[in-house]
């Protein structure tokens, strides 16, 4: 049992080692990112068509249920982004992989935007369904906490001048903040909340009609592929910008014209 | 058509939510792509300059 777990752990380590080389990562990103963007756009168009035209109204919520096709994928992506960010931070901590920190950093703005989108679309859905834009409910509050964790992670990278220290603090925040992920997931079961309980990942399969479930799954797939694209492209950009900075430093030029917004 | 966009009285909420989502996703996509294009362009220019005798 223990040896099989160690074996799996070693296999995961070998996989990440392969892409810890920035040049290899860049090559992979260049090859697959255009296809990923194409697939994401196609899936989104299909999902929108199914969700806005072909799916039926809910017997209780009426047409407002259609907000679910963007709210749930956004919330899914917010959690997926954070899980990825924490995973990359753990890899950076344990194996000191150069790409892991870059990937984690590239994930944060997307995660922040998706958490914000989940909160806003949830609030818009809440008004016709609950009669309120916002309630201090366990699910909503824990997602708001996630929003601030993302924000804190980004602020650390941008405000700590010593990048080695910034990386250390950001990794610690990412790993400690991961406690919030299961809290978000199980908040609807642990506390009495207005938010509906899980209806997608439940024992005995999803509790939804196939005509509502299909567009939801297509949109979740679209958001997931889009997320992978954003991480690949963001990481590739950061690798190129870092290389340019190194070259500029070597050439003795000023850095200001490479990335004026970023403090070095 | 008007009936479709009214969405049974929920049109305002639904279209607002979709509009905001489109703006956010579009912005993420465009900004990421633009920043990558600029970086690649500078990288190519830099490589070409270094390769010159």
DSSP tag of A58: B
The answer to whether residue A23 sits within a structural domain is no
Mean pLDDT taken over chain A: 86
User: What's the rounded Cα separation, in Å, for the pair A39 and A250?
Assistant: 40
- Chain A contact set for B51 (CB, 8 A): none
Q: Note whether B36 contacts A57, CB cutoff 8 Å.
A: no
What is the model's pTM? 0.85
Phi, psi of A58 (to 5 degrees): -80, 145
For B47, the token pair is 């490589």
The answer to whether residue A256 sits within a structural domain is no
* Mutate which: B4, B26, B29, B36, vs A, most A CBs within 10 A: B36
User: What's the rounded Cα separation, in Å, for the pair A212 and A21?
Assistant: 43
The answer to whether residue A3 sits within a structural domain is no
Q: Is the pLDDT of residue B45 over 50?
A: yes
What is the count of structural domains for chain A?
Answer: 1
Tens digit of each residue's pLDDT (9 = 90 or more) over A65-119 = 899 999 999 999 999 999 999 999 999 888 888 788 899 999 999 999 999 999 9
Inform me whether the C-beta atom of residue B9 falls under 8 Å from chain A C-beta atoms. Answer: yes
Percent of chain A at pLDDT > 90 equals: 54
CATH number, domain of A151, equals 1.20.120
C-beta atoms surrounding A239 within 10 Å: 22
Q: What domain range includes position A95? A: 35-235
The answer to whether residue A44 sits within a structural domain is yes
Q: Note whether A117 contacts B7, CB cutoff 8 Å.
A: no
DSSP tag of A264: -
CA-CA-CA-CA torsion sign (B33, B38, B44, B46): negative
Helix %, strand %, coil % of chain A (to 5): 80, 0, 20
The answer to whether residue A193 sits within a structural domain is yes
Nearest to A93 by CA among A185, A13, A19: A13
The answer to whether residue A6 sits within a structural domain is no
Residues 6+ apart with CB under 8 A from B48: none
**ipTM tops 0.90:** no
- The position carrying tokens 């080692």 is A17
Tens digit of each residue's pLDDT (9 = 90 or more) over A206-237 = 777 888 899 999 999 999 999 999 999 999 99
For A246, the token pair is 């190194």
Band the pLDDT of A155: cuts 50, 70, 90. Answer: very high
The answer to whether residue A123 sits within a structural domain is yes
**Average pLDDT, integer, range B8-13:** 86
Cα A35 versus chain centre, distance: 20
Cα B3 versus chain centre, distance: 30
CB A81 within 8 A of CB A217: no
- Chain B contact set for A63 (CB, 8 A): 7-11, 14
The answer to whether residue A90 sits within a structural domain is yes
Inform me whether the C-beta atom of residue B37 falls under 8 Å from chain A C-beta atoms. Answer: no
DSSP letters of A141-199? HHHHHHHHHHHHHHHHHHH-SSHHHHHHHHHHHHHHHTTHHHHHHHHHHHS--SSPPP-
Inform me whether the C-beta atom of residue B44 falls under 8 Å from chain A C-beta atoms. Answer: no
User: What's the rounded Cα separation, in Å, for the pair A156 and A171?
Assistant: 10
Inform me whether the C-beta atom of residue A231 falls under 8 Å from chain B C-beta atoms. Answer: no
Inform me whether the C-beta atom of residue B34 falls under 8 Å from chain A C-beta atoms. Answer: no
Nearest to A53 by CA among A211, A206, A220, A209: A211
């Amino acid at each position: 049992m223990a040896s099989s777990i160690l074996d799996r752990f070693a296999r995961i380590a070998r996989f990440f080692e392969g892409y810890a080389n920035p040049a290899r990562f860049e090559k992979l990103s260049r090859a697959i990112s255009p296809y990923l963007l194409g697939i994401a756009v196609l899936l989104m168009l299909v999902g929108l068509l199914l969700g806005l035209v072909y799916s039926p109204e809910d017997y209780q919520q009426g047409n407002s249920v259609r907000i679910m096709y963007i709210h749930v994928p956004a919330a899914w992506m917010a959690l997926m982004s954070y899980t990825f960010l924490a995973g990359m931070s753990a890899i950076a901590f344990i194996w000191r992989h150069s790409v892991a920190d870059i990937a984690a950093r590239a994930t944060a703005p997307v995660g922040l935007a998706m958490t914000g989108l989940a909160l806003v679309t949830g609030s818009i859905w809440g008004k016709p369904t609950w009669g309120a834009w916002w309630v201090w409910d366990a699910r909503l509050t824990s997602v708001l906490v996630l929003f601030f964790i993302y924000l804190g992670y980004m602020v650390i990278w941008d405000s700590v001048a010593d990048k080695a220290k910034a990386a250390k603090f950001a990794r610690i925040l990412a790993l400690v903040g991961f406690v919030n992920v299961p809290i978000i997931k199980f908040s609807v079961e642990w506390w009495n909340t207005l938010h509906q309980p899980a209806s997608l990942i439940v024992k005995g399969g999803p509790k939804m009609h196939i005509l509502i479930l299909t567009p939801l799954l297509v949109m979740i797939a679209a958001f997931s592929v889009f997320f992978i694209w954003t991480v690949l492209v963001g990481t590739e950009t950061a690798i190129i910008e870092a290389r340019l900075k190194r070259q500029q430093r070597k050439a003795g030029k000023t850095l200001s014209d490479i990335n004026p917004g970023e403090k070095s | 058509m008007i009936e479709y966009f009214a969405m049974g009285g929920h049109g305002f909420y639904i279209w607002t939510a979709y509009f905001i989502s489109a703006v956010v996703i579009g912005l993420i996509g465009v900004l990421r792509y633009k920043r990558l294009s600029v970086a690649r362009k500078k990288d190519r220019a830099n490589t070409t300059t270094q390769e010159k005798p």
